[in-house]
Amino acid sequence: MRKKHTGQPLDHLFRKLNNATQAHQIIELIGQAKAFKPRSNYEIKDKSNLLEQLNGMLYFMGGIKQW
């Protein structure tokens, strides 16, 4: 049984993505997402999805592709 108030390992980065308003915040999140070591197939897909969303947001903000 999981502890109270814990979620999937990348959930906190998805929440930060929703609040990110500047390109440097997105770049920091990309670095954190790349450093994450997935432990299951679900986490691999989750990480890939997160990086795709981060790059889409970064492209939307400034036309830069990071990943």
Residue 38 to residue 26: CA distance in whole angstroms: 20
Tell me which residue has tokens 């990110």. Answer: 20
Q: pTM, whole model, 2 decimals?
A: 0.77
In a domain, residue 47? The reply is yes
User: Quick one: pLDDT at residue 47?
Assistant: 93
Counted domains in the chain: 1
**Residue range of the domain that includes 44:** 22-62
Paired tokens of 28: 């920091």
pLDDT tens-digit readout, 5-26: 556 778 888 888 888 888 888 8
User: Quick one: pLDDT at residue 22?
Assistant: 86
DSSP string of 14-37, one letter each residue? HHHHHH--SHHHHHHHHHHHHH--
CB count, 10 Å around CB of 48? 13
In a domain, residue 11? The reply is no
**Cα 12 → chain centroid:** 8
User: Quick one: pLDDT at residue 62?
Assistant: 76
